[in-house]
Amino acid sequence: MKMDYASELDFQFILEHDRHLPKQLIKNKLNGKEIIIVKNEENRRIGWLRYNYFWDHTPFLNMIFLQENKRNKGIGTELLRFWETEMKNKGYEFVMTSSLSDEQAQHFYRKLGYKDSGSLLLENEALEIIFTKKLSK
């Protein structure tokens, strides 16, 4: 697998698979280096990781996307660890993410050392579980 910050060349792939962000925000995140693209051995795009900063200074993982046939093969773990290393190299001591309580992702994050750190309950939504992880030195 090859992982690197996404560029304009990755825009269409991300746009096709990210139903949560409008075009301009995807472009802004590409320019801000807040999307990491993952490619397979044939250099084909198979997924991405998107993040931002909680309180403007704590890396917060918003979403990991992998094509359906690439899931449950360790690629998500590899992608998450790549991001954690990038954040550590930038000087951050911990990172955050979240998952709805009715999603399987919560188990994925706990398995990788993320700790339950709170929750958010919005009207007509499942409980949003907040996770944090201290990055090792």
| pLDDT tens-digit map of 107-125 | 999 999 999 999 999 999 9
The band of 136, judged by pLDDT with boundaries at 50, 70 and 90, is confident
How much is the pTM? 0.94
Q: String of b and e for 12-35 (b: at least 16 CB within 10 Å)?
A: ebbeeebeebeeeebeebbeeebb
Q: Is the dihedral of CA 84, 6, 61, 75 positive or negative?
A: negative
The overall average pLDDT reported for the chain is 96
Indicate the residue type of 77: T
Edge-to-edge strands of the sheet including 2-5? 2-5, 35-39, 45-54, 58-66, 94-100, 128-134, 115-120
Residue 100 has pLDDT above 90, yes or no: yes
pLDDT of residue 7: 97
